[in-house]
Structure 1
Amino acid sequence: MSELILTLRAYTLLTYIIEAMKRTQIYISEKMKEELDALSQKRGISKSEIIREAVTEYISQHSEREKEMRLKTGAGLWKHKKDIPDLSKLRKEFERFS
């Protein structure tokens, strides 16, 4: 009985995952395909999963919200440092030699 419940739960989860994803097609070079095949074999996961991971990583690195969050995280990071030179003085000095 418990195996049947687990099977039904797995089926329900799988159905949800399949319905939540959208299918798309891409063209890749022969070299990319070979590398993808090798990576898939090495990691023991599907090529689709590797592509989803890559797209997720790409989007997270390039999304505006992600950039904003990274900037906000770093804001004020050096505000208590005492050994940072005065940038306005450095700029004036630089402009003097330009």
Structure 2
Amino acid sequence: MIRTQIFLTNDQSHQLRELKKVTGKNQSELIRQAIDTYLDRQTTTDRQAILESARGLWRDRQDLPDLFALRAEFERGGQ
């Protein structure tokens, strides 16, 4: 782990002290947990944005097979 220092507001510090009492975790654990939660949300948001930007990417391609026809053929058993 890497040691770092941060400045907290009085309210943040007070809420962390109260949360320590309830959870039994120390301040460092609570801060790491909060950072992990934040980073997970950012990763999910980034992934969603990437997927949305790729929507319709191949819409105008003429060199791809008709997927609906392929699917219908597959469902008929390839006959």
1:44 and 1:70 map into 2 onto residues whose CA distance is 37
Provide Cα deviations, 1:56-79, integer angstroms capped at 9, x if missing partner: 01011113xx3326976xxxxxxx
The number of residues matched between the two structures is 51
RMSD: 2.1
Q: 1:24 to 1:60 in 2, by over 3 A?
A: same
Higher helix share: 1
TM-score for the superposition, normalised by structure 1: 0.46
Distance 2:7 2:19 in 1: 18
Instruction: Give 5+ residue unaligned stretches, structure 1.
Output: 1-20, 73-98
- What's the TM-score, normalizing by structure 2? 0.56
- AA at the equivalent of 2:28: S
2:39 aligns with 59
What is the 5 A alignment of 1:78-93?
A: none
In structure 1, the residue matched to 2:70 is: none
Partner of 1:75: none
Partners in 1 of 2:47 and 2:14 — Cα distance? 36
Which stretches of structure 1, 4 residues or longer, exceed 4 Å deviation after superposition? 69-72
Identity %: 28
